[in-house]
Amino acid sequence: MQIDNLLQQINFIKEIDKTKYIKRKTKLFNSDRNENDAEHSWHLAMMAIVLAEHADGPIDILKVLKMVLIHDIVEIDAGDIFIYDTEKNHTNTDAERLAANRIFGMLPKEQADELISTWEEFERGETNEAKYAKSMDRLEPLLQNVSNNGGTWTEFGVNYKKVYEKKKKIKEGSSSLWNYAEKLIDESVEKGILKK
Amino acid sequence: MQIDNLLQQINFIKEIDKTKYIKRKTKLFNSDRNENDAEHSWHLAMMAIVLAEHADGPIDILKVLKMVLIHDIVEIDAGDIFIYDTEKNHTNTDAERLAANRIFGMLPKEQADELISTWEEFERGETNEAKYAKSMDRLEPLLQNVSNNGGTWTEFGVNYKKVYEKKKKIKEGSSSLWNYAEKLIDESVEKGILKK
Mean of per-residue pLDDT scores for chain A:
95
Task: Return the pLDDT at A92.
Answer: 58
Using one digit for the tens of pLDDT, what is the confidence trace for A129-145? 999 999 999 999 999 99
Q: Which of A141, A133, A159 is nearest to A59 (CA)?
A: A133
With a cut of 80, say whether residue A3 has pLDDT above it: no
Task: Return the pLDDT at A43.
Answer: 98
Inter-residue contact A103 to A77 (CB < 8 Å): yes
Closest residue in A to B144 (Cα) is: A14
Quote the distance between the C-alpha of residue B131 and its chain's center: 11
Using one digit for the tens of pLDDT, what is the confidence trace for A148-196? 999 999 999 999 999 999 999 999 999 999 999 999 999 999 999 999 9
Q: Residue B33 CB: number of other CB atoms within 10 A? A: 11
Compute the distance between CA of residue B178 and CA of residue B167 in angstroms, rounded to an integer.
8
**What mean pLDDT is predicted for residues B136-161?**
97
**What mean pLDDT is predicted for residues B75-83?**
87
Count the helix, strand and coil residues of chain A and give each as a percent rounded to the nearest 5. Answer: 70, 5, 30
Q: How far is A157 from chain B (nearest CA, A)?
A: 25
A180 contact residues in B (CB cutoff 8 A): 6, 10
Cβ–Cβ contact A62 with B under 8 A: yes
How does DSSP classify residue A135?
Answer: H
Residue A55, classed as helix, strand or coil, is coil
User: A3, A4, A5, A6: best mutation site toward chain B, by most B Cβ within 10 Å?
Assistant: A6
Cβ–Cβ contact B184 with A under 8 A: no
Q: How far is B167 from chain A (nearest CA, A)?
A: 17
Model confidence at A88, pLDDT cuts 50, 70, 90, reads: low
Cβ–Cβ contact B53 with A under 8 A: yes
Test A6 with B54 for CB contact under 8 angstroms.
Answer: yes
With a cut of 80, say whether residue B2 has pLDDT above it: no
Using one digit for the tens of pLDDT, what is the confidence trace for A89-145? 656 588 999 999 999 999 999 999 999 999 999 999 999 999 999 999 999 999 999
Model confidence at A79, pLDDT cuts 50, 70, 90, reads: confident
Size of interface A-B (CB pairs under 8 A): 111
This complex has an ipTM of: 0.96
Using one digit for the tens of pLDDT, what is the confidence trace for B97-112? 999 999 999 999 999 9
Identify the bridge partners of residue B27 per DSSP, sorted by sequence position. Answer: B34
H/E/C letters for each residue in chain B?
CHHHHHHHHHHHHHHHHHHHHCEEEEECCCCCCEEEHHHHHHHHHHHHHHCHHHCCCCCCHHHHHHHHHHCCCCHHHHCCCCCCCCCCCCCCCHHHHHHHHHHHCCCCHHHHHHHHHHHHHHHHCCCHHHHHHHHHHHHHHHHHHHHCCCHHHHHCCCCHHHHHHHHCCHHHHCHHHHHHHHHHHHHHHHHCCCCC
